[in-house]
Amino acid sequence: MRSLIFLGILSLALARKTFFGDQVLTVHPKNEAQVQAIKNLDTKVDFWSPDSPAGISVGSSADIRIPSEILPAVKVALRRQKIEFEVMIEDVESLVGEQFKSAQGRGILDGTTAYDYEKYHTYDEINDWTNAIAAENPTMVQRTVLGQSTEGRDIPMLTLSSGQSASNPEILVDCGIHAREWVSPAFCQWFVRQLLDEPNNVRISEATYHIIPSINVDGYAYTWTNDRMWRKTRSKNGLCYGVDPNRNWDAGFGGEGSSSSSCAETYHGPYAESEPEVKAVADFMRANKDNVKLYVTYHSYGQMILYPYSYTYDLAANTDELDFYAVQGKNAIQSVHNKRYIYGPGAVTIYPAAGGSDDFAYDTGIKLSYTIELRDKGVYGFTLPESQIQATCEETDAFMQVMHNAVVSPTYQA
């Protein structure tokens, strides 16, 4: 057994891609020529924010991971073209390595109260945890499997409710659409614990919560074993692997902000819901649209509260309402640890992005629909340290409390 565990750790350490000497640069293009020069780096670099070269524009900045092999040449080129930049992350591997080291030698789950919610967990750990927490709380937690991923992994969902709840509003929360955004699944796990530990289980007695800790299970598993910076699913399409699961929904499918190239990070896939992970959740939304009053999907990073639409610049019919709660939510977040979030319709606040889950939920009939970009604003980016999980979750919980109050209010009309 001991040697098996040792082998497991060894193979994890051997197979994983490393990022020694890679840096994340924040660049500030000031004219079209500079924008073009940055866009031309496309296939050689990894766009963190925005998530693809299409999102780069004059006057905005961009965080880009540059592999160590080309870093000197890229810096020379940036200087020659007088493109302003600074180093956001000195050595990506040192941050990534810390996160993997933290998981090494970790024992099998022994009870969900001892589970460490301030650490990042593997897919297997999260899946085991969903089973354990349902078994430990049989009256309040129900575990269902929404479907299987391309590689055959289960996609578990936890439904939390307590007391008489037949007519209670329902709330759908998902995490981990994008694989490398690790703080997102961390929040979903923490939030389940929080709802269960709350005195009198107030929120789950007033509403039924459906929480999907990790949608993109294959991609997430892949970030642990092979490539920490993987974003997409793991289906094979043409020459490349992976569809962007936040461009694959049947909402403006194939439109602006999505790519038809299977190698692109924003590849929309061969057709809407081609990804079984997306179809599983979309099926759930269609089946429960009359009862689900709120959908929140968690991503990182950038500290934003986004609402429909992202596939069009048109405003949603109830924009005033969406905006009203976004402002309340932003203020609630700020009151906890003074973190500032921006808010607004997706297309103008971040970038146009057709085929997203929030727009699909909205068009399916869930009239309160939000995408949250969690911490940070470009210090650690995707490699947000575990030491920030707790604070991130606390302030995000304040947002969820605002949204809860909105949908359980007796005067709320969906």
Strand duo 236-237 + 342-345: pairing: unpaired
Of 346, 341, 334, give the one whose Cα is nearest residue 375: 341
Interface with ligand DDK, residue 353, by CB under 6 A: yes
Give yes or no for residue 330 binding Zn ion (CB under 5 A).
Answer: no
Q: Could you give the string, one character per residue 175-214, with x where binding to Zn ion holds by CB under 5 A and - elsewhere?
A: ---x--x---------------------------------
Token pair listed for 208: 């039924």
Which stretch, 105-113, 210-218, 321-329, 356-364, contacts ligand DDK (CB under 6 A)?
356-364
367 is a contact residue toward Zn ion (CB under 5 A):
no
Q: Give min distance, CB of 268 to ligand DDK, in A.
A: 11
51 binds, among Zn ion, ligand DDK, none (CB under 5 to 8 A by kind): ligand DDK
Compute CA distances 1 → 4, 75, 128, 222, whole Å: 5, 48, 19, 24
Distance CA 244, CA 263 (A): 10
Binding partner of 210, given ligand DDK, Zn ion, none, CB within 5-8 angstroms per partner class: none
Q: Can residue 350 be called a binding residue for ligand DDK (CB under 6 A)?
A: yes
Within 10-69, the residues that bind ligand DDK by CB under 6 A are 51
Q: Read out DSSP for 253-301? A: TT-TT-BS-TTSTTB--SSTT-SHHHHHHHHHHHHHTTTEEEEEEEEES
Neighbours of 84 (CB within 10 A): 13
373 is catalytic: yes
Per CB under 5 A, the segment of 67-75, 141-149, 161-169, 293-301 that binds Zn ion is 293-301
- 277 scored as a contact of ligand DDK (CB under 6 A): no
DSSP 315: P
Residues 287-346 that bind ligand DDK (CB under 6 A): 299, 306, 310, 346
Helix, strand, coil distribution of the chain in percent, nearest 5: 40, 20, 40
Phi and psi at residue 368, in whole multiples of 5°? -110, 110
Residues that bind Zn ion (CB under 5 A): 178, 181, 299
Q: Which residues are catalytic?
A: 373
Residues that bind ligand DDK (CB under 6 A): 51, 178, 246, 299, 306, 310, 346, 350, 353, 356, 358-359, 371
